[in-house]
C-alpha cells in the first residue's frame, strides 16, 4: 500500500472506533471496536516504517509529513495504544462502570487519534493545535472515575498545560513574525519553510521564540520545573490512561522540541538553545530523583520515573549529533514499552490490594505471582539495568554527551541515574520481600478506607498478557539493535542535521 | 504588509486600542468582583475585535473582518454569557481567595509591564523598529501574558483561573493581529480552539461541583502533593 492510504488507515481507524462506540453504546462491542482499531493502527504503522526511510513525503496539501522521525513517533504511540487497549479490557471491567464504558472507549480512541496525528503535522501552527487537542481529550479520561482526587488532577492538568502551551503559541507567532521579514506577510509556516528561512531570521527573535516554544511544549512533555501537573494526572487516571499519557503523549510533544532544535541550529542561535534543553533535562532528572527516593504512592512513583525519562530524552536531543539522536529515539521506544508495563503492574497491584500506597502493598510474589515477577523485571529494566533496552539507550545518550560540549551533564546524569536506581528498587524490595506490619489496619490513612475493596481474583489474563508483550521486545531490544533501527536513526539524524531534507 | 508600513493614523489608532486592552487587563487585576472582571474581559475582547477589523481595513486583509466577527461573537458575547450563567448559579460574586491583595498585584503588574517593555524594546532595537507600533504590540502582548500568569498565580477562585487563561490568549491574539496579520487561517482555528478549552474547563468544573457542592476555589484542591 502507498503511504497515503496507510496514513489514511492510521487516522481513520481510531475515528471509526470513536463513532462506532458512540453509536452502539454498549460496553462489550466498544471494547472490541477500540481493540480492533488499535490492531489495525499498529499493523499500518509497521507497514509504513519502510516507506519512511526513502525520504520525507508531504501529503494532504502539505499539511502532513511522513518522515523517519514522525513514523518513529507513530511506532511508539501505536505500540502503547495496542498494549493499553488490551489491558483496558481487563482493567475497566472491574471498575463496575459498564453504563459509561462506551464513552470511555470513545474518548480513549479519540485520545489515540489526536496523539497519532501530532507527529504527522507539517504545519507548525496545526502541530500546536494537535498537541492542545490531546490535552482536551485526555482531561476527561483522567477524571473518568469522578473521584475528588481525579477531578483535582484533571483541573490542574487542564489549567497548567493550557497556560504553559500558550507560551508555545506565543513562540510560534514570534517565529512567524521573524519569518515575515524575509518571506512577506502571508506564507505557510511548515517545518521545512521555517528551517529554510532560519538563517535569515533575526537571532534575538529566533532565540526568544525558541525558548518560549521549549517552555511551552516542555510543559506538555513534563520537563521540570513545568512537570507539576504530571504526577497528579498520571496517578489519578485509570491505569491504561496513565500508560497512554506517559508512553505515548509525552513523546509526541518531545518530537516538536527536536524539530525546533534543528530550526535554531539552522538559525545559528549559538549554544544557548541546546544548553537550555540540556539544563531542563538535567534538572528533570534531579527533581525526579528527589521525589522517587521519598515517594509513598505507587503510581506517583511511576509518574516521577516518567519525568526522569523525559529528562533523558531531552538530554539526548540536546546533546545532538547522530549518536544523541539515535540514543534519544531508541530511548523513546524503550520508555514507551517499559512505562506501559510499569503502569499496568501498578494498576494490577492497586486493584489487588485496594490501595495506592506503597506501604500497603506487601508480599507481592505470593499475591500476584505471574504479573508480580513481570513487574519486577520491568522495574529492573526501567532503572536502566542490563540486559534490557533502556540500558543500551541510556548508555548511548551518555556516550553522545561525552562528545558534546555539555560533559558536565553526563556526570550529573550518571550520579542521578544511580540514585534513582537505588531509590526505585528499594521500594520494590519492600513490596516484594517485606512482610506486612501486623497493625496494618491502623496505619492505613483515611484515604485508603474510602477505596474499593481488594479484588480477590485479580489480575486476570487481559491484565497480564500485555505486560509480557511489553517485556519481550524490551529484552530483545537490549540484546540486539536491529539493523533496520540503525538505518531509521541515521535517516532521522540526516533529516535533523543543519540543512537536512525533511 | 509589515507593521512598519502602516500609515501614521492607522498606527496611532492601533496603539490606542492596544493600550486600551492593556488598561482593561489592569482593571481585571485590580477588581475583586467577578462581574467587573468579566465585563472588563468582554470589553477587551470587543476592543481586540475592533483592532482586527481596523488592521484588516488599513492593511487590506479582508479575512480579518471575518476574524473580527468571530472574536466579537465568541469572546465578546458567548463566553462572557456562559461565565455569567455559572456565576449566577454558583452564587460566588467576588474573589474570596486571593493570595495577594488587588492593590499589591497592581504594583507587581506594573513591574511586569516594565519588564515586557525592556524585552520588546531590546528586540525592536535589533530589528531597527524603535518607536513603531510593532514594539508597542510586542510590549502589550508580553505584558498581558505576564499579567495572565500573575492572575493564575494569585487568584484562587476557579472562575478567575479560567479568566486568567483567557487573558493569556487575548494577549497573543492582540499581538498577532498587528505583528502577523497575514496568518489568518491559524487564528481562526485558534478562536474555535479556545472555545473548546473553555468548554472542557467547564466540563471539569461542573463535574467537580457535582461531587463537591459548594467548593469553587482551586485552593481547596490540595490533596495531591509530593
Contact call for A132 and B172, based on CB within 8 A: no
Segment A291-316 mean pLDDT = 94
CA B73 to chain centre: 15
Contact call for B224 and A151, based on CB within 8 A: no
Contact call for A163 and B149, based on CB within 8 A: yes
CA–CA distance, B55 with B73 (Å, rounded to integer): 18
- Kindly report the three-state secondary structure assignment for every residue of A225-286: CCCCHHHHHHHHCCHHHHHHHHHHHHHHHHHHHHHHHHHHHHCCCCCHHHHHHHHHHHHHHH
Segment A237-262 mean pLDDT = 93
| B118 shares contact with chain A (CB less than 8 Å) | no
CA angle A42, A46, A49 (to 5 degrees): 135
Contact call for B172 and A140, based on CB within 8 A: no
Q: What is the pLDDT of residue B1?
A: 44
Residue numbers of the domain that contains B46:
8-94+105-176+184-218
Cβ neighbors of A501 (< 8 A, separation 6 or more) are: A55, A56, A494, A495
Q: What is the pLDDT of residue A496?
A: 83
| A350 shares contact with chain B (CB less than 8 Å) | no
Q: What is the pLDDT of residue A451?
A: 52
B45 exposed, middle or buried (CB, 10 Å; 0-12, 13-18, 19+)?
A: buried
Contact call for B183 and A173, based on CB within 8 A: yes
CA angle A158, A163, A167 (to 5 degrees): 140
CA A393 to chain centre: 16
Cβ neighbors of A288 (< 8 A, separation 6 or more) are: A224, A304, A305, A307, A308, A311, A416, A420
Cβ neighbors of A441 (< 8 A, separation 6 or more) are: none
CA–CA distance, B65 with B68 (Å, rounded to integer): 5
Q: What is the pLDDT of residue B2?
A: 54
CA–CA distance, B106 with B98 (Å, rounded to integer): 13
CA–CA distance, A346 with A300 (Å, rounded to integer): 10
- Dump pLDDT digits (tens) for A448-473: 444 556 777 777 888 899 999 999 99
- Residue A204: band (very low, low, confident or very high) from pLDDT cuts 50, 70, 90: confident
pLDDT of residue A442 exceeding 50, the answer is: no
| A438 shares contact with chain B (CB less than 8 Å) | no
Min CA distance, A285 vs chain B (Å)? 16
Option in B148, B176, B189 nearest A129 (CB): B189
CA–CA distance, B12 with A500 (Å, rounded to integer): 44
Name the residue with higher pLDDT: A57 or A272. Answer: A272
Option in A185, A231, A297 nearest B182 (CB): A185
Cβ neighbors of A319 (< 8 A, separation 6 or more) are: A274, A278, A397, A400, A401, A403, A404, A406, A409
| B212 shares contact with chain A (CB less than 8 Å) | yes
CA–CA distance, A493 with A500 (Å, rounded to integer): 9
pLDDT of residue B163 exceeding 80, the answer is: yes
Top residue of B186, B207, B213, B216 to mutate, by most chain A CBs within 10 Å, is B186
**HSE-CB for A212 with a 13 A CA cutoff:** 22
Among A101-115, A192-206, A321-335, B88-102, the least confident range: B88-102
Domain count, chain B: 1
Min CA distance, B183 vs chain A (Å)? 6
Q: What is the pLDDT of residue B217?
A: 67
> Please, what is the angle between helix A321-353 and helix A298-319, to 10°?
170
**HSE-CB for A33 with a 13 A CA cutoff:** 29
Q: Domain spans of chain A?
A: 3-437+445-496
Q: What is the chain A residue with the closest CA to B178? A: A177
User: Could you give the percent of chain B with pLDDT greater than 70?
Assistant: 80
Min CA distance, A154 vs chain B (Å)? 7
Q: Is residue B225, in this structure, part of any structural domain at all?
A: no
- Dump pLDDT digits (tens) for B183-222: 766 666 676 677 777 777 776 766 666 666 456 666 666 6
Q: What is the chain B residue with the closest CA to A235? A: B224
- Residue A423: band (very low, low, confident or very high) from pLDDT cuts 50, 70, 90: very high
DSSP conformational letter for B78: I
CA–CA distance, B11 with A249 (Å, rounded to integer): 43
Q: What is the pLDDT of residue A55?
A: 75
pLDDT of residue A150 exceeding 50, the answer is: yes
Segment A138-147 mean pLDDT = 85
Segment A177-199 mean pLDDT = 88
3-state percent breakdown (helix, strand, coil) of chain A, nearest 5: 80, 0, 20
* Location of C-alpha cell 532565540: A207
For residue A10, give the C-alpha cell. 492510521
A473 exposed, middle or buried (CB, 10 Å; 0-12, 13-18, 19+)?
A: middle
* Location of C-alpha cell 497515503: A4
Minimal CA–CA distance to A235: which of A149, A174, A333?
A149
Q: What is the pLDDT of residue A501?
A: 45
| B180 shares contact with chain A (CB less than 8 Å) | yes
Contact call for B200 and A189, based on CB within 8 A: no
- Residue A446: band (very low, low, confident or very high) from pLDDT cuts 50, 70, 90: very low
* Location of C-alpha cell 487481559: A462
Q: What is the pLDDT of residue B185?
A: 66
Contact call for B207 and A152, based on CB within 8 A: no
- Dump pLDDT digits (tens) for A105-137: 999 999 999 999 999 999 898 899 899 889 988
Three-state DSSP state, A97: coil
- A65 φ, ψ (degrees, to nearest 5): -125, 135
Contact call for A155 and B196, based on CB within 8 A: no
Q: What is the pLDDT of residue A216?
A: 95
CA–CA distance, A232 with A241 (Å, rounded to integer): 13
Q: What is the pLDDT of residue B59?
A: 84
User: Could you give the percent of chain A with pLDDT greater than 90?
Assistant: 59
Contact call for B224 and A177, based on CB within 8 A: no
Among A72-76, A81-85, A426-430, B200-204, the least confident range: B200-204
Contact call for B226 and A180, based on CB within 8 A: no
Top residue of A134, A140, A185 to mutate, by most chain B CBs within 10 Å, is A185
Q: What is the pLDDT of residue B101?
A: 85
Three-state DSSP state, A182: helix
Q: What is the mean pLDDT of chain A?
A: 89
CA–CA distance, A222 with A215 (Å, rounded to integer): 10
pLDDT of residue A424 exceeding 50, the answer is: yes
Q: What is the pLDDT of residue B116?
A: 95
For residue A428, give the C-alpha cell. 520494590
For residue A322, give the C-alpha cell. 547522530
* Residues B60 and B44: beta-carbon distance below 8 Å: no
Top residue of A146, A180, A189, A445 to mutate, by most chain B CBs within 10 Å, is A180
* Residues A153 and A161: beta-carbon distance below 8 Å: no
Contact call for A140 and B189, based on CB within 8 A: no
- Residue A437: band (very low, low, confident or very high) from pLDDT cuts 50, 70, 90: low
Amino acid at each position: 500500500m502507498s503511504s497515503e492510504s496507510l496514513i489514511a488507515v492510521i487516522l481513520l481507524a481510531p475515528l471509526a472506533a470513536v463513532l462506532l462506540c458512540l453509536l452502539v453504546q454498549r460496553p462489550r462491542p466498544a471494547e472490541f471496536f477500540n481493540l480492533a482499531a488499535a490492531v489495525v493502527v499498529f499493523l499500518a504503522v509497521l507497514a509504513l516504517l519502510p516507506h519512511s526511510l526513502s525520504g520525507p513525503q508531504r501529503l494532504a496539501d502539505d499539511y502532513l509529513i511522513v518522515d523517519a522521525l514522525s513514523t518513529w513517533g507513530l511506532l511508539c504511540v501505536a505500540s502503547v495504544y495496542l498494549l493499553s487497549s488490551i489491558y483496558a479490557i481487563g482493567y475497566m471491567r472491574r471498575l463496575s462502570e459498564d453504563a459509561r464504558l462506551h464513552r470511555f472507549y470513545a474518548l480513549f480512541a479519540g485520545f489515540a487519534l489526536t496523539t497519532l496525528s501530532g507527529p504527522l503535522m507539517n504545519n507548525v501552527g496545526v502541530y500546536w493545535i494537535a498537541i492542545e487537542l490531546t490535552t482536551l481529550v485526555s482531561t476527561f479520561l483522567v477524571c473518568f472515575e469522578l473521584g475528588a482526587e481525579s477531578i483535582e488532577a484533571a483541573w490542574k492538568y487542564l489549567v497548567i498545560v493550557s497556560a504553559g502551551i500558550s507560551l508555545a503559541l506565543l513562540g510560534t507567532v514570534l517565529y512567524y513574525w521573524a519569518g515575515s521579514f524575509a518571506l512577506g506577510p502571508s506564507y505557510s509556516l511548515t517545518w521545512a519553510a521555517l528551517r529554510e528561512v532560519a538563517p535569515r531570521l533575526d537571532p534575538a527573535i529566533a532565540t526568544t521564540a525558541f525558548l518560549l516554544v521549549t517552555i511551552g511544549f516542555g510543559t506538555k512533555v513534563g520537563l521540570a520545573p513545568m512537570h507539576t501537573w504530571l504526577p497528579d494526572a498520571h496517578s489519578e487516571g485509570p491505569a491504561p490512561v496513565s500508560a497512554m499519557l506517559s508512553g505515548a503523549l509525552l513523546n509526541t510533544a518531545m518530537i516538536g522540541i527536536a524539530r525546533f532544535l534543528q530550526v535554531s541550529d539552522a538559525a545559528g542561535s549559538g549554544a544557548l538553545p541546546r544548553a537550555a534543553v540540556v539544563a531542563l533535562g538535567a534538572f528533570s532528572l534531579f527533581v525526579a530523583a528527589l521525589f522517587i527516593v521519598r515517594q509513598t504512592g505507587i503510581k506517583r512513583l511511576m509518574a516521577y520515573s516518567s519525568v526522569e525519562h523525559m529528562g533523558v530524552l531531552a538530554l539526548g536531543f540536546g546533546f545532538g549529533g547522530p549518536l544523541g539522536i539515535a540514543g534519544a529515539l531508541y530511548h523513546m521506544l524503550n520508555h514507551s514499552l517499559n512505562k506501559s508495563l510499569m503502569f499496568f503492574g501498578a494498576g494490577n497491584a492497586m486493584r489487588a490490594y485496594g490501595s495506592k500506597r506503597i506501604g500497603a502493598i506487601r508480599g507481592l510474589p505470593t499475591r500476584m505471582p505471574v504479573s508480580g515477577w513481570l513487574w519486577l523485571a520491568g522495574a529492573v529494566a526501567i532503572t536502566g539495568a542490563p540486559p534490557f533496552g533502556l540500558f543500551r539507550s541510556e548508555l548511548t545518550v551518555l556516550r553522545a554527551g561525552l562528545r558534546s560540549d555539555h560533559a558536565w551533564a553526563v556526570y550529573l546524569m550518571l550520579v542521578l541515574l544511580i540514585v534513582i536506581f537505588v531509590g526505585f528498587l528499594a521500594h520494590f524490595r519492600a513490596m516484594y520481600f517485606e512482610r506486612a506490619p501486623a497493625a496494618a489496619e491502623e496505619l492505613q490513612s483515611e484515604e485508603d478506607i474510602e477505596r474499593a475493596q481488594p479484588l480477590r481474583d485479580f489480575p486476570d489474563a487481559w491484565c497480564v498478557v500485555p505486560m509480557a508483550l511489553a517485556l519481550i521486545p524490551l529484552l530483545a531490544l537490549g540484546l540486539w539493535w536491529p539493523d533496520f533501527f540503525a538505518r531509521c536513526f541515521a535517516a532521522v539524524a540526516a533529516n535533523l542535521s543543519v540543512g537536512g531534507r525533511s | 504588509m509589515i507593521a512598519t508600513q502602516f500609515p501614521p493614523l492607522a498606527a496611532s489608532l492601533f496603539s490606542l486600542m492596544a493600550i486600551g486592552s492593556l488598561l482593561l487587563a489592569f482593571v481585571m487585576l485590580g477588581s475583586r468582583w467577578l462581574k467587573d472582571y468579566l465585563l472588563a474581559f468582554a470589553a477587551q475582547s470587543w476592543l481586540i475585535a475592533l483592532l482586527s477589523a481596523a488592521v484588516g481595513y488599513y492593511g487590506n486583509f479582508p479575512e480579518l473582518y471575518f476574524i473580527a466577527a468571530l472574536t466579537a461573537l465568541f469572546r465578546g458575547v458567548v463566553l462572557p454569557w456562559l461565565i455569567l450563567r455559572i456565576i449566577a448559579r454558583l452564587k460566588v460574586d467576588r474573589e474570596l481567595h486571593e493570595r495577594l491583595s488587588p492593590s499589591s498585584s497592581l504594583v507587581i503588574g506594573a513591574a511586569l509591564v516594565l519588564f515586557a517593555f525592556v524585552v520588546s524594546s531590546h528586540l525592536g532595537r535589533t530589528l531597527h523598529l524603535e518607536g513603531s507600533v510593532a514594539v508597542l504590540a510586542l510590549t502589550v502582548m508580553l505584558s498581558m501574558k505576564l499579567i495572565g500568569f500573575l492572575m493564575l498565580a494569585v487568584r484562587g477562585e476557579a472562575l478567575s483561573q479560567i479568566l486568567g487563561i483567557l487573558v493569556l490568549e487575548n494577549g497573543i491574539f492582540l499581538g498577532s493581529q498587528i505583528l502577523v496579520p497575514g496568518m489568518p487561517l491559524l487564528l481562526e482555528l485558534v478562536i474555535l480552539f479556545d472555545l473548546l478549552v473553555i468548554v472542557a474547563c467547564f466540563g471539569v468544573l461542573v463535574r467537580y461541583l457535582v461531587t463537591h457542592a459548594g467548593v469553587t476555589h482551586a485552593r481547596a484542591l490540595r490533596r495531591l502533593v509530593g
